Each structure stands twice: as structure tokens, then as C-alpha cells.
Amino acid sequence: MLCGTLNADSGEVTLFGHHLHQLSPSRITQFRARHVGFIFQQFNLLPTLTVVENVAVPLRIQGVSSGKAMTRSVEMLSRVGLHEKANERPSRLSGGQQQRVAIARALVHEPSLLVCDEPTSALDSETGRQVMEILRATASDAHRLVIIVTHDPRTYKYADRIAHMEDGRILRVAPYSNIETLQGGDS
């Protein structure tokens, strides 16, 4: 609902001063293109595009020229340590590399909200740590909000707050320093 991909059954959804529940579907799409980045669990990279072309997709959707989009995409790939893979196809990359491409794509247009679905689930511990450090650095920007949906306890230490949900309802919210309370005493 925060991203405008689902409508609320009741109530209002307001994000960054935009009343999403009042916007037309085309305006919500425009809002998402400008303000929201997604990191999907299965990466959702387009197999027919190169890595740099995949990263450029959000910029091209916004109408950024091809040249500028490619330049910014290469810069973002450098930030995630993959500039040397810019002209590869996603199928030639490891899972960790594909996840970093997905992160670069999600961040290239500098969204205000970054939504991550299980960003470390298929990654080894070292690659998962690298991914979480990138996300933590992103979250440290005062103009960005990062939301991570995960079952991976390795990610908890990177969080400012953790919300425990069951059956679509938030049961508890606690700062990371209170993780034992959130987990019901289990570590």
C-alpha cells in the first residue's frame, strides 16, 4: 500500500505528502517511478538486457536520455562493485552479483522509499553482509526510507526498528536494541 501497488480497503495512505488513496492509477505509477525503488527477492532482472541496461530502466521510465541513463547506471554499478560487469547478461552473474545489480537498479533514480523483499535470502553470509552494508548506507541518508521484509535474522543488526508481523498485522515494533522483546525472548 505504501508503494501504491495495492489499494487499502479502508483508511488513507499518505507518503511524502502524497495522498495515494486519492491518486489516479496513472498518477500512482508516476509517483512510484519517481519516489520508490524495489529490490525483489528473485531480482527480476530482464534477461535480454545487459547489466547496465537493467540498471538504467528506472531512469529511462522517467524520461532520462539514454546517454545520461547509461552514465548514471555505470556510476551506480561502480558503487556496488560491479562496473566491470556492465556489459554482461544477468544469466552470466552469480546470485550475489545479480542481487547487487538489483540494488543498483533500485537506487539509480535516488528514490525516497526503498522496499526490499528478502534481499539476503539467497546469499552467502559474506555477500549478505555486503548487501546489508549497502542498504544501511542508503538508509543513513536523511531523505531516504528503507523498508526490508525478511525472515533472515542476520539482517536485524542493521535495523533501526523492527516490526514483527503475523497474518498481515503488526504485532510489535521495537528498536533493534530491544530485539529480545520483539522475538519474545528468543535470540
Model confidence pLDDT, tens digit, residues 74-102? 999 998 989 999 999 999 999 889 999 99
Which positions ≥6 away from 15 have C-beta within 8 Å?
Answer: 2, 35, 113
Summarize pLDDT for 16-45 with one digit per residue, the tens: 888 988 889 899 989 999 999 999 888 999
Per-residue model confidence (pLDDT) at position 11: 87
Summarize pLDDT for 145-154 with one digit per residue, the tens: 999 999 888 8
Amino acid at 125: S
Superfamily, domain 14-151: P-loop containing nucleotide triphosphate hydrolases (3.40.50.300)
Burial annotation 64-77 (CB, 10 A radius, 16+ → b, else e): beeeebbebbbebb
CB atoms within 10 A of CB 94: 11
Closest CA to 42 of 82, 101, 86: 101
C-alpha cell at position 29: 505509477
Q: Do residues 150 and 120 lie in contact, with contact meaning Cβ atoms separated by under 8 Å? A: yes
